[in-house]
Each structure stands twice: as C-alpha cells, then as structure tokens.
Amino acid sequence: MKKLLALWGCCLSLATAAQQLPVLCYHNITTPGQHQNDLLHVDSRQFEQQLKTLADSGYHTILPDEMVALLQQHKPFPARAVMITFDDSHDVHYSIAAPLLQRYHFKGVFFVMTVTLNKPHYLSSANIKALSDEGHTVASHTWDHPRPDGYQDWDKELLLPRRQLEKITGRPVWYIAYPFGAYNDSIIAHVKQAGYKAAFQLNRRPEASNELYTLRRMLVDGRWSGTQLLREISRYVTP
C-alpha cells in the first residue's frame, strides 16, 4: 500500500508540474478587416467564435487565485477549466473583449504595462478599475515591456506597476506576465522579491523547481476556428 501511495503521489506531482490547465494568451482584438488574423491579432468575429465554441463545449474560466491555490495544494484542476488572458493593455480589451467575455459568462486576466496608462489606444485607469470591479483579474506586465536583458531598474519594472494598479483597483496585484514570455533565474528572483505570488511565461513547460513562476500560456492564433482551438487545447494539456 505504501508503494502505491508513493507512486500515486509521484504521478500527482508530475501532473501538476505539467500544468494541465490551458491558459490562453491574446494580444490585439481587432474589428473585422482591420488586420489579417495571426498570432498577435484576432478579429472580434473570430474571437467570439472561439469563445462560443468554448462555452458550447462546457468550458468555464478560472482565475489565478484559484489556479495557484490548487497547485499549492496539489489538487487537480476542474474539468473543462480554462484561463483567458490578455497582454499589452490595448483599449479594445475593455471595449471589445470584455463585453464578449461577459456574453459567454467568462472572466479574464488583463496583464497591464503601466507605461501606457491613459494614453490613446490603451487602457485608461477608469477601464482598469471597471475590469477589476466586474470580477476580472488585473495583473502586471511590467512598466514598459523590457526584453530579458533590459531590466535596468527593478523597482520601476516590478514594484511601481503593482503600486499603480493596486491604487487604481483598490485590490492587491499578485501576478505578472513576463514580456515576450521570456525570463531567467535573475528575473524570477526579483519577481519573488517584489512579492508576486506567481508569474506567467509562454509555451515552455513549467520548471519543476519554480513552477509558480514559470506558469505557461499558449498564444492563440487568430486564424484558428473554435474547433481548431479545442484541438490545440487538447494537445496543450497532453503530457
């Protein structure tokens, strides 16, 4: 029996380390015909089709607080759970994406780079406050989206955005997404020191020794139909 329990515990540890939760990453949500759909652009019709397919297939969203709690407790994720995230603070995340999320009873995670606050075509403080009040998660995407070798002022890149967003929302900001999905040991150490509970990257499997600070996301291709998105999710969660 002890051997069976040990084997079960090992399998559970491997399952959580593989992060069996699809975390979708979007950037630009465009109006139809504005831009060709690709890895960084999806028009509103295609985006809605993807959301509708998820909803029709029984998917529901969870947010980082629940995800991190389950990982820390070594518990499985709920069946057909998905996280939907948005990078780079575009104003269309509020004007286009958020209403579509609401239509399908989904909540999202909005990673905000605060250098763009209140600038044309980017999220305003009022937008960010409204997203938070509507039950979405507002999180950090650093101050000005530096490359891995571009972090010159750690307080400016990591602490200042937290303080700005917390002041706007009135809620703690515990999560961050690495610009370009890129990170290294030094960045992870500073993110921990800045008080973040978890950090998200792109595409690579989480590191067993730093799972909460290397949570992976998948870039959603704007050319994918809803059915293809489901196929990609299936591949993504297969160890």
- State the Cα–Cα distance between residues 158 and 140, nearest whole angstrom: 8
Q: What is the C-alpha R_g of the chain? A: 18
- State the Cα–Cα distance between residues 227 and 40, nearest whole angstrom: 19
- In the chain, how many domains are there? 1
- State the Cα–Cα distance between residues 239 and 21, nearest whole angstrom: 11
pTM (global) more than 0.85: yes
What pLDDT does residue 3 have?
Answer: 38
What pLDDT does residue 239 have?
Answer: 59
Please list, in sequence order, all residues whose beta carbon lies within 8 angstroms of the beta carbon of residue 71, skipping any fewer than 6 positions away.
Answer: 16, 19, 211, 212
What pLDDT does residue 16 have?
Answer: 47
What pLDDT does residue 19 have?
Answer: 75
What pLDDT does residue 18 have?
Answer: 53
What pLDDT does residue 208 have?
Answer: 86
Residue-wise pLDDT tens for the chain (239 aa)? 333 333 333 333 434 445 789 999 999 999 998 999 999 999 999 999 999 999 999 999 999 999 999 999 999 999 999 999 999 999 999 999 999 999 999 999 999 999 999 999 999 999 999 999 999 999 999 999 999 999 999 999 999 999 999 999 999 999 999 999 999 999 999 999 999 999 999 988 889 899 999 999 999 999 999 999 999 999 887 65
- State the Cα–Cα distance between residues 158 and 85, nearest whole angstrom: 19
For residue 155, the domain's CATH number is 3.20.20.370
- State the Cα–Cα distance between residues 140 and 175, nearest whole angstrom: 6
- State the Cα–Cα distance between residues 152 and 73, nearest whole angstrom: 36
Amino acid sitting at position 175: Y
Q: Which domain holds residue 92?
A: 2-236
Structure tokens at 154: 């750690």
Adjacent-strand bridge partners of 199: 176
- Answer yes or no: are the C-beta atoms of 158 and 92 closer than 8 Å: no
